[in-house]
């Protein structure tokens, strides 16, 4: 039986076991939406309020569920509104398949209404993209899109389908893609490299493990735990790796980066063997590269060969899936302990606690601080809620003071740093994990970039908790203006609307607090609420995030104040 190309799209998605789609209809994708009408019982389509919301929601869904996120958008402005999310997903290795409608093939290149060269525009920010102009090519393109999105180092894929292809008739069949000539997503482990790495690790006096999101992406949480416990090596995490190693484990020494913990930054420049797994040596982690871990022999494990030796020269570069590499490496290393080396981390941890943490979580000032809010939220949820953050000071505060103890429960925009990410990503995270508590921690600035997605929460009845930390500033920029631009606060003070009134306009229960004695009850009310809830907490305007590695500084020059 012949079916329309639009129905072939839906049948292909069903074959890929897609149950949730985020999207926004329009003229060029209308045939696909018409086909979607007949799949309403098996596919949940979430009508967002902006296409950027669709892709960020798909990212949140993918990051927390381990599945491929899917979104629809129409041609022209609909497709271009996906670009920020595609760039975000690309740099953060998030598997997303975007299907966009396109004008009819005979109109391509004519500047037709709502025609844009989305293939050209999206090429730098997608792992793969394709324009389909014939109905008979639809199922093959979608099969390939899912395979590429989820295999190897995951990433976003875009399939652009012309309107005549959607209307065209085709004898439908679907064959999942399992390989593509010249594309080898799973590297063959080099046994010699593993042997060399094991020798370095067994001889090391001050070895140090850095874990990134690659641990999650390869499902290697057990393997990294077993490896660390066998070798007794201290473990630190990147921003996107938070939660991949238990934060309450005796070998966990903290969070790396510009606003990370004191000990893991300083002692990077004292270790003798540095084992980096599933992380890419981002500039926020390395600081001044010319002064980064020069004394150490570096072992770098990554599934993306392009990341090896790109930033930091490795003594042993292992092109491998993290899970596979850790399994085999664990068999080659000796049982060991490094108590004196580990104690160095604990000593510096005590310094940070005394000079930064104690005042942050138990402030002497009258005004509420972001750190105490996040710290109390962590205690109340036992570190097991899915925390979705936007970008800014609250993001760094959350990474420092929320003690992640859940599986895939840290969702944030890392590499691109996209303000507006938090609210729609939290929607996707909840729909991918309906039984878990999802808290979106957002600043007053970023919240207003995608505030319209409150309408998505209303219509789709998404039970997320929204925690706005409101300092009436674009806080991270203000902090830099204070420290490096003589307090010249150029356009960072922000006049905000009545957030609780807006939330109630969308039938979302809301509460605003300004006093410390209100905080405990307010968080309890938010967490125990039935349905979505917005809690606005007014915090100190000029609270800064410390420690901090200044731009151009070495990680060992991290400031405590």
| Catalytic residue ranges | 51, 113-114, 163, 476
- 65: Cβ contacts below 8 Å, ≥ 6 apart: 408, 432, 433
Relative to beta strand 465-470, strand 438-443 is parallel
CA angle 386, 390, 391 (to 5 degrees): 135
Beta-sheet strand order (sheet of 273-277): 252-255, 235-237, 207-211, 273-277, 297-302, 316-319
Give the integer Cα–Cα distance in Å for 418 and 37: 33
Give the integer Cα–Cα distance in Å for 237 and 120: 36
* Tokens standing for residue 104: 């009819």
Give the integer Cα–Cα distance in Å for 212 and 198: 20
252, containing H or E segment: strand 252-255
Give the integer Cα–Cα distance in Å for 74 and 27: 7
Calculate Rg over the CA atoms of the chain: 24
* Tokens standing for residue 351: 């310094």
Dump the DSSP string for 19-83.
Answer: -EEEE---GGGHHHHHHHGGGTTT-EEEE-SSHHHHHHHHHHHHHHHSSPEEEEE-STHHHHTTH
| 519 contacts 537 by C-beta, under 8 angstroms | yes
Enumerate the β-bridge partners of residue 538: 470
- Going by C-alpha positions, the residue among 4, 2, 39, 3 that lies closest to residue 23 is 39
Angle between helices 51-65 and 422-432 (to 10 degrees): 50
Coil, strand or helix at 351: helix
């Amino acid at each position: 039986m012949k079916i329309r190309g639009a129905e072939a799209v839906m049948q292909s998605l069903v074959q890929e076991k897609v149950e949730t789609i985020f999207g926004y209809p329009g003229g060029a994708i209308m045939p696909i939406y018409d086909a979607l009408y007949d799949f309403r019982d098996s596919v949940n389509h979430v009508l967002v309020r902006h296409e950027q919301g669709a892709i960020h929601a798909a990212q949140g869904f993918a990051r927390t569920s381990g599945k491929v996120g899917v979104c629809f958008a129409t041609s022209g402005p609909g497709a271009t509104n996906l670009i920020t999310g595609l760039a975000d997903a690309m740099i953060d290795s998030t598997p997303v398949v975007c299907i966009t409608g396109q004008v009819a093939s005979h109109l391509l290149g004519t500047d037709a209404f709502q025609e844009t060269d989305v293939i050209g525009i999206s090429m730098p920010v997608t792992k793969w993209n394709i324009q389909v102009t014939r109905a008979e090519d639809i199922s093959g393109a979608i099969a390939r899109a899912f395979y590429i999105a989820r295999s190897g180092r995951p990433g976003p894929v875009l399939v652009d389908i012309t309107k005549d292809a959607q209307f065209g008739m085709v004898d439908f069949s679907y064959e999942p893609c399992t390989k593509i000539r010249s594309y080898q997503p799973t590297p063959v482990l080099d046994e010699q490299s593993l042997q060399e790495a094991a020798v370095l690790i067994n001889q090391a006096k001050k070895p140090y493990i850095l874990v990134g999101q690659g641990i999650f992406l390869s499902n290697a949480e057990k393997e990294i735990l077993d490896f660390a416990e066998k070798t007794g090596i201290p473990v630190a995490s990147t921003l996107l790796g938070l939660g991949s190693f238990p934060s309450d484990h005796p070998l966990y020494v903290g969070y790396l980066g510009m606003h990370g913990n004191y000990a893991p930054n300083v002692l990077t420049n004292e270790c003798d063997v540095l084992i980096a797994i599933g992380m890419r040596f981002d500039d926020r982690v390395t600081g001044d590269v010319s002064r980064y871990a020069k004394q150490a022999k570096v072992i770098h494990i990554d599934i993306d060969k392009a990341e090896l030796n790109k930033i930091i020269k490795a003594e042993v570069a292992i092109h491998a899936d993290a899970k596979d590499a850790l399994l085999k490496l664990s068999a080659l290393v000796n049982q060991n302990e490094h108590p004196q080396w580990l104690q160095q981390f604990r000593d510096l941890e005590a310094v940070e606690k005394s000079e930064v943490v104690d005042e942050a979580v138990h402030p002497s000032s009258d005004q509420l601080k972001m750190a105490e809010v996040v710290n109390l939220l962590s205690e109340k949820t036992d570190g097991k809620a899915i925390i979705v953050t936007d970008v800014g000071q609250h993001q760094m505060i959350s990474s420092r003071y929320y003690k992640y103890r859940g599986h895939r429960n840290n969702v944030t925009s890392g590499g691109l740093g996209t303000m507006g990410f938090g609210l729609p990503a939290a929607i996707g995270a909840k729909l991918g994990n309906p039984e878990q508590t999802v808290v979106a921690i957002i600043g007053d600035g970023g919240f207003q970039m995608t505030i319209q997605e409150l309408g998505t929460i209303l219509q789709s009845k998404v039970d997320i908790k929204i925690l706005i930390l409101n300092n009436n500033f674009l806080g991270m920029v203000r902090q830099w203006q204070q420290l490096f631009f003589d307090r010249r606060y150029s356009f960072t003070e922000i006049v905000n609307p009545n957030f609780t009134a807006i939330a109630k306009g969308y039938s979302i229960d809301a509460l605003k607090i300004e006093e410390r004695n209100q905080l405990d009850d307010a968080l309890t009310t938010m967490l125990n609420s039935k349905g979505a809830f917005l809690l606005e907490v007014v915090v100190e305007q000029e609270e800064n995030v410390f420690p901090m590695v200044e731009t151009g500084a070495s990680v060992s020059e991290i400031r405590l104040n």
